[in-house]
Amino acid sequence: MGYTLEDEIRTGTPADRSLLERVARALLHPAAEISHLGTGGFACTFKITDDRGVAALKIIDPGLSERERVERELNALQRVSDDGIVRFLEHGMFNFEGVDYCWIRMEFVDGRSLAAELSSAVVFSALEAVELVTNLVHAASAIWAAGTAHRDLSPNNIILRADGKPVIVDLGLARHVDDESYTALPTPGTPGWMSPEQVGSSPVHRDWRSDQFVIGALAYRLLTNVQPFYALSIVDRWRAPAAQTPQPIRAIDPEIPSAVADVVERMLHKQPHRRYLALRTSGEGSWGEASGGEEHA
């Protein structure tokens, strides 16, 4: 059997949680409390409590990670300062059993991921959805203002605090818009929560407008309680943003204000230059209004 696109999308071995937890325990004081938060393709993140307080500690597997990706996350975390972005505290290297492991200590964000909320069938009112997206745009704007695109604003990477305010985490795919060093197989991002240009591996996938598309997809899901793209397989989820056009928002729920629906649908335009040049959060429901300048041809 040949190597398929699905194999390519699934390529990668998850980080070794058991090993990285041993590294974390060796790094910290024996009295520190450690609990697992999540495991990704190249790292594990733990909630830790020590004499310095509560924090999140990411331990990176040197056998799976790319130095460029680690450096990108560190650079992005240190460039950006906003209440809606996980706060960087410090980082370093730790030698464990003859191997050097990079670690990153960050603010611990107490809350549930947006993915967990959506999977538990939580329904957001139109007002709640607009407020959440407004706060998300405000936080993402801090990343964009630093000349960086997040490139993976999936519900898994958005934590909702107890007050409902979103916090963007996991900047491992973030990079400066002028950085052309990183490529992935087949493209970086989370299938189902990617822009058409990410799916197509377009050179503009590093642009902040790719993030804008994904925020538009999140807004669509929050407003309508319907996924913007329908797919059964992981391959179809990966292809969907380029292959499908979401049903008009007001066809699903006519009670949603037309001004809000128009904004979201423009954010979801297949062509990046047809989206907004900038997003702002001032004014009722105006997070998608054009804020000056002509659209690029």
Which domains does the chain possess?
5-106 (3.30.200.20), 112-274 (1.10.510.10)
Give the model confidence (pLDDT) of 256-268 as tens digits. Answer: 999 999 999 999 9
pLDDT score, position 284: 41
157's tokens: 């990477």
Instruction: Pick the more confident residue, 189 or 65.
Output: 189
Residue 130 to residue 218: CA distance in whole angstroms: 11
Residue 77 to residue 151: CA distance in whole angstroms: 14
Confidence of residue 40 (pLDDT cuts 50, 70, 90): confident
pLDDT(204) > 70: no
pLDDT(1) > 80: no
pLDDT score, position 178: 46
pLDDT score, position 150: 84
Residue 265 to residue 294: CA distance in whole angstroms: 19
pLDDT score, position 184: 43
Give the model confidence (pLDDT) of 210-249 as tens digits. Answer: 899 999 999 999 999 999 998 878 888 888 888 899 999 9
pLDDT score, position 117: 94
Q: pTM of the prediction?
A: 0.82
pLDDT score, position 262: 93
How much is the mean pLDDT over the chain?
81
DSSP letters, 18-67, are HHHHHHHHHHS-TT-EEEEEEE-SSEEEEEEEETTEEEEEEEE-TTT--H
The percent of residues in the chain predicted with pLDDT above 70, rounded, is: 78
pLDDT(182) > 60: no
pLDDT(28) > 50: yes
